[in-house]
């Protein structure tokens, strides 16, 4: 669900809460999305740290990308939390930590020949966003296929 399609006033009305109550807890839509997705972002950061410290970071990095895509498909608003400039310091720190560790994992995956050498972490994030969008356009039954195609593309140098 894109952040620009969420209206806090609508949420207040649908939940029976006062508008002031909703805005007091979530002054912006991004603040609401952060609250809904902080655990998913923490999971990604933890997994990225594990990748960076792994005995086989290349294989672990591929699994991280797949898990990140699965989470982004399953969790409305996670994409916005990952790419928005207007996030809390807590989310920014977690996201930066995730990116640092994921960058180490990507470099290792490239060095191990598990991931093609001509792709960046930012391009992978955009690719994941594209797969998320493609899955949401349909009935979701093709999610495994689309994830496999994405992973095969990342591993293009090996094939």
What tokens appear for 113 in the block? Answer: 């020949």
d(Cα 23, Cα 155) in Å, to the nearest integer? 45
29-158 CATH fold = Tetracycline Repressor; domain 2 (1.10.357)
Rg (the chain; Cα; Å): 17
Helix axes 57-74, 89-111, angle to 10 degrees: 140
**pLDDT of res. 29:** 76
Q: What does pTM read for this prediction?
A: 0.82
Per-residue pLDDT of the chain (159 residues; tens, 9 = 90+): 555 556 656 665 666 666 676 566 667 778 888 888 999 999 999 999 999 999 888 889 999 999 999 999 999 889 989 999 989 999 999 999 999 999 999 999 999 999 999 999 999 999 999 999 999 999 999 999 999 999 999 987 444
Q: Which of 90, 88, 54, 51 is nearest to 67 (CA)?
A: 51
Which of 102, 95, 90 is CA-nearest to residue 63? 102
């Amino acid at each position: 669900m894109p952040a620009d399609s969420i209206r806090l006033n609508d949420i207040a009305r649908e939940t029976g809460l006062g508008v002031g109550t909703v805005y007091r807890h979530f002054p912006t839509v991004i603040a609401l999305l952060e609250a809904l997705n902080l655990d998913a972002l923490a999971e990604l950061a933890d997994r990225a740290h594990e990748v960076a410290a792994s005995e086989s970071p290349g294989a672990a990095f591929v699994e991280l990308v797949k898990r990140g895509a699965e989470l982004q498909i399953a969790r409305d608003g996670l994409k916005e939390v990952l790419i928005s400039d207007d996030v809390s310091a807590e989310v920014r720190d977690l996201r930066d930590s995730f990116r640092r560790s994921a960058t180490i994992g990507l470099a290792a995956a490239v060095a191990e020949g598990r991931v093609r050498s001509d792709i960046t972490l930012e391009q992978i994030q955009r690719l994941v966003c594209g797969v998320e969008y493609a899955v949401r356009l349909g009935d979701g039954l093709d999610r495994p296929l689309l994830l496999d195609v994405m992973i095969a593309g990342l591993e293009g140098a090996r094939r």
